[in-house]
Amino acid sequence: MNSYIKSIFAFFGILLMVSCSKSNETETSPYCGIISFGVSSIVSYVPYNTSSGGTVLQKKTVDGSSILFNIDQQENTIRTANPLPNWIDLTKVVPTFSCYGSLFYINGETMRQVTSGTDSLDFTVPHTLRCYSSDGLYQKEYLVTFDKNPDVQDTILWESVATNLNLDDDDHKSLVVTATYKDITGADSLVRRIFVFSNNGSGQPQVTSTTERSQATTWTNPTVLTGADGTIDFNTVTLHKGELYALDDQNKLYKSTEAEKGLTWTKVANTDLTRLLASDGVYLYGYNGTKVLSTKDYMTWNEVGDKSLDMLPQTDIYNFYRTSYTNNKIIIVMMGGMTSNNTGNGVTWYKTTDTEEEDEDPDPWDYMGVSDENAYGCPYLQEASTVWLDDKLYMMGRDTDGKFAGIYRSEDNGISWHLQNTKWRLPAALDGNNGGASMVLLGNVLYVMQKGGKVWRGTIK
CATH class of 156-460: mainly beta
pLDDT of residue 186: 67
Closest CA to 38 of 107, 100, 95, 76: 95
| pLDDT at 395 exceeding the cut of 80 | yes
**CA-CA distances (angstroms) from residue 428 to 25, 158, 165, 197, 405?**
58, 9, 20, 25, 11
Of residues 185 and 405, which shows the higher confidence score? 405
Per-residue pLDDT, averaged over 114-128, amounts to 93
| pLDDT at 196 exceeding the cut of 90 | yes
How would residue 36 be classed by pLDDT, with cut points 50, 70 and 90? very high
Chain-centre distance of CA 108, in angstroms? Answer: 33
Three-class SS of residue 346?
coil
Domains 26-53+61-145 and 156-460 agree in fold: no
The mean of the pLDDT values for the chain is 84
Q: Does domain 26-53+61-145 have CATH number 3.20.20.70?
A: no
How would residue 42 be classed by pLDDT, with cut points 50, 70 and 90? very high
How would residue 372 be classed by pLDDT, with cut points 50, 70 and 90? low
Closest CA to 437 of 461, 391, 406, 393: 406
| pLDDT at 131 exceeding the cut of 70 | yes
pLDDT of residue 4: 39
The dihedral of CA 111, 112, 117, 118: what is its sign? negative
Of residues 213 and 252, which shows the higher confidence score? 252
pLDDT of residue 457: 92
Sequence ranges of the domains in the chain: 26-53+61-145, 156-460
By percentage, how much of the chain surpasses pLDDT 70? Answer: 86
pLDDT of residue 8: 35
Beta bridge partners of 63: none
- In this prediction the pTM is 0.67
Residues 342-371: pLDDT tens digits?
888 889 999 988 888 766 677 889 998 876
Per-residue pLDDT, averaged over 405-428, amounts to 83
